Structure 1
């Protein structure tokens, strides 16, 4: 090589594969939109949501997850999570999801009681004295005017996500072993803490 010329040797290695977070959601819009915020070019994680549409009951969410896992390989370092609301679902339906989540180390259940909007609310306030699903939505609308099953990703900054995690941890004390049975609590923070953020 002649003097003054630079060598442009490209690395021959393969770019490390991003960790997959497979998330089966009860909701079709809001939950996938929230989790897809973490899919950035700088992230070391890849989010894939299995959306429900009208098939939103806990058994159907679990079946959607099971079908994907039967047809695809989930690597040992990847994770599979089910994200549902407590809402009107029975304890036995939720227990089935909890048993599935405990069956493997890289499985998880993230449940909000009464619903996912409670987790969103924690990005803005402590979320105390929630009495119903409607109360949860009304409180959220004070922070996101016109909220109607849609979110503006710019409102969910890293700082607000960190605050939501702290508030959810405080409300989940002592930590629930399966799912949060108290109205006004959530374990979505356990999933969000595991997703790397740039």
Structure 2
């Protein structure tokens, strides 16, 4: 009998291989506002710590970069999956929506929606999942800047970028080696981010804040 080499059959076999490569730790879905900078950063961490791609899925927000779109897409990707990307329905224990405060009108709505979904959705193992907004005020680049400076007061995103470029000449959106460049200062950045989180939150904008540290700590401590 001839082998079935149809696209559907090939996709099924690819999924079976991917499932076979899963590690014992939680399956994590990360959906980001940025189309390059944040996905590149988290994929760098995934590669540096040799995390299974079947366990850590990183995707930019397909509908757009508004915070509410990021959260809505993260929910849709979790609930419906994406057969073109071999992402199965409800195949995660943790879902993270990564976005910036910037000047987005839907910022607080996105925070509220993410909070309302946390512990309410069930995965393919019938477990309630973690659904969390990973927000930065004013932007993701604050997290990178904390590797070099102890920021305590509000900064506009343009000022964050200006200062960051003093430490990383040539830095721009979409770089693919931000983790490698900043990694040696990771411990101090985490301490500074925690200091900000002790005083402020995602809801106290324009005070500086970033929850990126939570996701970085999770990814850098996963074990097979």
Does the aligned pair in 2 maintain the 1:130–1:136 contact within 8 Å? Answer: no
Question: In the alignment, is residue 48 of structure 1 matched against residue 48 of structure 2?
Answer: no
How much does 1:129 deviate?
3.4
User: Aligned residue for 2:109?
Assistant: 92
Give the equivalent residue in structure 2 for 1:154. 180
Aligned to 1:11: none
Give the structure 2 partner of residue 172 of structure 1. 197
Matched, 1:80 2:104: no
Question: In the alignment, does 2:33 pair up with 1:22?
Answer: no
Given the alignment of the two structures, is residue 123 of structure 1 paired with residue 140 of structure 2, yes or no? no
Counterpart Cα distance in 1 of 2:174 and 2:34: 11
Tell me: CA distance 1:134–1:175, structure 2 relative to 1, closer, same or farther (3 Å): closer
1:62 to 2:71 alignment: yes
Which consecutive unaligned segments of at least 5 residues does structure 1 have? 1-13
Residue 45 of structure 2: SS of its match in structure 1? coil
CA contact (8 A) 2:30 2:95 kept: yes
CA RMSD of aligned residues (A): 2.7
Structure 1 residue 125: deviation in Å? 1.6
SS in 2 for 1:82: strand
Say whether residues 1:32 and 2:57 are aligned partners.
no
**CA–CA separation in structure 2 for the residues paired with 1:34 and 1:85:** 15
- How many aligned residue pairs are there? 182
Structure 2 vs 1, CA of residues 41 and 94 (structure 1 numbering), >3 Å: closer, same or farther?
closer
Distance 1:105 1:173, change over 3 A: farther
Q: Aligned equivalents of 1:84 and 1:102: distance in 2?
A: 20
Change (3 A) 1:70 1:156: same
Higher CA-based Rg? 1
**Structure with the bigger percentage of helix:** 2
| Structure 2 unpaired stretches of 5+ | 1-19, 81-87, 121-127
